[in-house]
């Protein structure tokens, strides 16, 4: 289908669209952490890469990655239009994620990345998170 706006007008319109962040995935993880009875987390500490959740006592940074925006191998999809733009965008996101992880690790932090699809309602705790949180987990969920 042909766009009713010129390229310039479409660009102007799209430039005014503001991101709402990954709020829904963060809320899903916060709910899951409460459901799993995990305490001690903080949100949005001013660290490299701006982790979504941190456990300062464990020096643990957690990122919640959207399947589309971070190129999930299982659920990531590629739009049919403007494919080269989206491939480059997702590749940049992956490079940025890797860079943030390396920098945080060099500062003594452990990093866990969780995919959006791992946070579906009543899903079990992802294995990587369970390993990282070990001492904070209630005895019956280790």
Query: What pLDDT band is residue 21 in, cutting at 50, 70 and 90?
Result: low
| Cα pseudo-dihedral 69, 71, 76, 80, rounded to 10 | 80
Binning pLDDT at 50, 70 and 90, where does residue 142 land? low
Confidence grade of residue 4 (pLDDT, cut at 50, 70, 90): confident
Cite the beta strand spans of 2-87 per DSSP E.
42-43, 53-55, 60-65
Query: How far is 67 from 76, CA to CA, in rounded Å?
Result: 5
Express as a percent the part of the chain with pLDDT over 90: 30
Strands 42-43 and 53-55: antiparallel
CATH T-level fold of 22-132: Endonuclease; Chain A (3.40.960)
Q: Where are the domains of the chain?
A: 22-132
Q: What is the model's pTM? A: 0.77
The predicted model gives 60-80 an average pLDDT of 86
Q: Is the pLDDT of residue 19 over 70?
A: no
Higher pLDDT, 54 or 73: 54
pLDDT of residue 66: 86
Distance (Å, whole) CA 134 – CA 142: 7
Residue 95: name the closest of 45, 62, 49 by CA.
49
**Tens digit of each residue's pLDDT (9 = 90 or more) over 118-137:** 888 778 888 888 889 887 77
């Amino acid at each position: 289908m042909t766009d009713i706006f010129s390229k310039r007008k479409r660009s102007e319109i799209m430039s005014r669209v503001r991101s709402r962040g990954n709020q829904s995935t963060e809320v899903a993880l916060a709910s899951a952490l409460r459901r799993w009875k995990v305490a001690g987390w903080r949100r949005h500490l001013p660290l490299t890469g701006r982790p979504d959740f941190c456990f300062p006592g464990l020096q643990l940074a957690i990122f919640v990655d959207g399947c589309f925006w971070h190129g999930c191998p299982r659920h990531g999809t590629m739009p049919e239009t403007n494919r080269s733009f989206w491939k480059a965008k997702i590749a940049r996101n992956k490079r940025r994620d890797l860079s943030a992880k390396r920098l945080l690790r060099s500062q003594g932090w452990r990093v866990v990345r969780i995919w959006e699809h791992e946070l579906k309602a009543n899903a079990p705790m992802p294995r990587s998170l369970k390993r990282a949180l070990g001492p904070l987990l209630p005895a019956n969920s280790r």
